[in-house]
Structure 1
Amino acid sequence: MPMPPASTPSLAPADTTALAQALVAIHADRFGPASTLPDTAPPGPLTYQAAWRACRALGFIERDADCLAQAWQRQAERTGQPETLAWPEQPEDFGLGRSHDPSRAFADCPRDLGLYVVAPSADWIARLADLGVPTLQLRFKSNDPQAIRQEVRAALQAVRGRDCRLFINDHWQIALEEGAWGVHLGQEDLEGLDLSPLRQAGLRLGVSTHGYAEMVVADQVQPSYIAMGAVFPTTLKAMATAPQGVARLRAYAQLLNRMPRPYPLVAIGGIDRERLPAVLGSGVGSVAVVRAVLGAPDPKAEIEAFQTALKHRAPRPA
């Protein structure tokens, strides 16, 4: 999203403080606890500056604070209420869907992908497919191209003829060459990558996001699904951002579910059976797990418990 025009006069901090304090006060119960309000904000209109300061006080990283503040400014202009306290929740205010082109969209996925297990090897993929997991991801770590290709081939063979969706993490070129059904990429993988070969081959694309700004980036490539996390702390991989928590997850899902063609949404990061009800109540269609299943004493029983919870979930929140 473009920043507010550089020619926009910067208002003195005192001009935005009252509005920023009001925003923090009304939203701290949802997204807090709040820290000290920053003294200044980047140049921009009053609503932008106040929202930026409030979002930083509520713990949002600078990139997300900027994204939210721009959405708040658009909301204010759209409604004619420059001092609106309402959290921005309309896709148009974030520019979501603005550049969509049906010819550049990735192939569709079911909106509810069900239990989604991320596994480190083809052997695990085969075992999980046998246990009826509907959506799987091979996250095989190696610097050896031949080893990667062998593992991808074995994983694809393990799910062939089964009612199972398999995504290959990161190794998109090998996945493409081996005829994979789908790939999953992180934000860093999207930078400078020509996605047209994947799109033209009909592969499904999942994209990781860790906040509002990355959701906007993901939307620009029109993926098959969007993953959101890490919801809770996880030790499985180093995370550049703090855990998002259920409140933010709910806000992200509410925003994306309001798009004319909502994406399938996958929550990931530290999710176990105890936390599952809160995650499902956020409005996502799927949960991705690693340790909760792979590290369970009885993976089969754990899978069955997750499947039952997903089957009997409450209706999505409006």
Structure 2
Amino acid sequence: MTESKDVLQEARIWVGKQSGKPARARDPVNVPMIRRWCEAMGLTDPVYVDRQAAQAAGYRDIIAPAAMMEVWTMSAYDPRGRQPEDSIPVIDLFDDHGYIGVVATDLQQEYMRPLVVGDVITCTIIVDDVSDEKRTALGIGHFVTLRHEFTDQDDQIVGQMMFRILKFKPNLKQDEAASITEAAGAKPDRTPAHPRPGITHDHAHYWKGIAERKLLIQQCSGCGRLRHPPGPACPVCHALEWEAKEASGRGKLHSFVVVHQPKVPGFSYPLPVLLVELEEGVRMVANAIDVDRDALTIGADLMLDFLEVEPGYLLPGFRLAKVD
């Protein structure tokens, strides 16, 4: 506990201070990136892609969707992970003391003005708060709140973001059990446990189905629309009544990413994450099972399977469908 207090005191020295150097956007706000974002998000407002429409709406040029504010100053991808020049010292401090787990808990953004094509954005991170020690289902840790301030080429603030994360020591119970095992002279198993979902009333049926090796999709009793992930109401007709329909398990690879960083305890990396378009017409994010990165191609036929990541704990995943 003394060590934890020392770490907390050291971390709180950063409160109110800039943590890390400001990140200046590598490129000005530009139309190609805006267009790609709008295509991905389904945004169709012409002020995002058409200069005349933007000027008719009172802007001097095309504007970027507000939620893109953070995108412009993101660091370049590096398979080695975060590099020293991009480090956030208060986060590194917790890493160095064994708080290697991280999970985002909430994010709030405030926009002072729309970003216009040609703006050059800089982000400065200030440590807003470090909480007392908390005991969570993930392990003991501290909530760290970071305030991101975004300024333009004239050093005028254009927005800010409050980002809170939990830095934790994974698997407290497992570590305690390992200590007991170690004291008895045996070699403990310190393999991190796989994170588990927080199950609520809205999707308990889904996880019950997974435990029974069934993939259940919600179907609105009002309009018949299928929806996934599960939710309390139909996004089209707003009906609250629904039924569970078992999916066939057949689908196609709509898109995918291969995650290298950050490395969350309990996963193996590089980590392929699939976006699967099911035969029924809905999409879901799922694991890849026994599929090499080089074998993933958009449009590939996939088949549902279930992966037992821990005894009694199943997750849905997809394999490449066998070709007859």
When the two structures are superposed, what TM-score results if normalisation uses the length of structure 2?
0.27
Task: Name the structure, 1 or 2, with higher relative contact order (CA <8 Å, separation 6+).
Answer: 1
Specify the structure having the higher radius of gyration (Cα).
Answer: 2
